[in-house]
Amino acid sequence: MATMMAIIKESRTKGLSIVEKEVPETLKDHEVLIEVLSASLCGTDVHIYQWDPWAANRLNPPLTVGHEFSGRVVKVGSKVDRVKVDDIVSSETHIVCGQCEFCRTGRGHICQNTQIIGVDRDGCFAEFIRMPESNLIIDKSGVDPKFLSVLEPLGNAVHTMLHFDISCKTVAVVGCGPIGLMGINVAKAVGAKKIIAIEVNPYRMNLARELGADIVINPKDTDVIEAVLKETNGLGVDVVAEFSGNKKAIEQSFKYIKKGGSMSLLGIASEKIEIDISNDIVFKGITIYGVTGRKMYENWDQVSALLESKKIRLDKIVTHVISMRDFEEAFRIMASGNSGKVVLIP
């Protein structure tokens, strides 16, 4: 029996453990075994590490954690015909049923029976992972595999930024964590007219500038509404892309969005948001879109095209590459806020 190193949530307490587990070599007809080449940390992994109320209500330990990865195909099931051994792949992390109303109407990203790797079933913080062939994205860009683990969150950024037309438009990116930073990069790549980034962390403010933000506003020392209106001739921005989940930041965004503007919300708010529906939504005539996951597989096609265009700076977005065995250090760096994406190498 072949074994592998894996990082697991072993029990219903704070922390994670490194263990030896059996390599999942027994495949169903349409499954693929992948050698993990890189995996990256996400805020979800922090929730699981901390064992907060969300994690306690969602996970059933023991479970291998992690859901963002790249890898090399090493074995395929008997009916696999789209990928082959030695293909370099990344992966959609939502495993959907294909049978519910949402899947059957082209909305698999909101499948009512979704299973997320590293949350509902074993994930990728390990040396090998078993995945359905249909979830895999074959890399054709030639990008270093250590960067390809971040394509899943890049898909979130693409979904958020490109749901509305932002070409030649003014865009506010609210919150410059790793996915917000990717959003800035995407906006720059597709030709947004002016990108206004809103962020409080100096490290991430600098990254926002490097990735293409024209204006970076720190709400701690600047009136955000006043500053955005000044930068937009008093009209406001065409599109707001909300990544922060911060109550005040979300509420302010309704005050500086342009009449007829559009808002995509990816950030998860932990507090109730107060909105003047009449004046800030109805009379402004704005459109609001809630972002969950990635449209399968429209957003993945967009991600692939952006990668092949060489306009996405994954080398800037990935700021730390660490051995998977040093995962505690990786979580510490991520918690500090002084990082972009943090990547683990098995």
203 & 340 share domain: no
Is position 301 within any domain?
no
Which 3 state secondary structure label does DSSP give 341?
strand
58 & 81 share domain: yes
194 & 170 share domain: yes
- List, for residues 22-51, the tens digit of each pLDDT value: 999 999 999 999 999 999 999 999 999 999
Print the domain residue range for 38: 3-149+313-345
Please list the rounded mean pLDDT of every run of 10 residues in the chain (346 residues). Answer: 96 97 97 98 95 94 98 98 98 97 96 97 98 97 95 98 98 98 98 98 97 98 98 98 98 98 96 96 98 96 96 96 97 94 98
10 & 124 share domain: yes
125 & 13 share domain: yes
pLDDT for 307 equals 95
212 & 125 share domain: no
Is position 338 within any domain?
yes
102 & 194 share domain: no
Helix (H) or strand (E) holding 301: helix 298-309
pLDDT for 60 equals 95
Q: How deeply is 238 buried, as exposed, middle or buried, from its count of CB atoms within 10 A (0-12, 13-18, 19+)? A: buried
- Angle at which helix 298-309 crosses helix 151-162, to 10 degrees, equals 100
pLDDT for 236 equals 98
User: Cβ distance 300 to 294 under 8 Å?
Assistant: yes
Catalytic machinery residues: 44, 47
Is position 124 within any domain?
yes
66 & 26 share domain: yes
pLDDT for 213 equals 98
Is position 35 within any domain?
yes
Nearby residues of 44 by Cβ (< 8 Å), 6 or more positions away: 67, 118, 119
273 & 317 share domain: no
118 & 166 share domain: no
Q: How many CA atoms lie within 13 A of 286 on its CB side?
A: 26
95 & 173 share domain: no
**Number of domains composing the chain:** 2
Which 3 state secondary structure label does DSSP give 278?
helix
Is position 304 within any domain?
no
Q: What is the CATH number of the domain that holds 119?
A: 3.90.180.10
pLDDT for 270 equals 87
Helix (H) or strand (E) holding 46: helix 43-50
pLDDT for 296 equals 94
Is position 78 within any domain?
yes
Is position 179 within any domain?
yes
Q: What is the CATH number of the domain that holds 272?
A: 3.40.50.720
Is position 164 within any domain?
yes
12 & 125 share domain: yes
Alpha helices per DSSP H over 129-240: 145-148, 151-162, 178-189, 202-210, 224-231
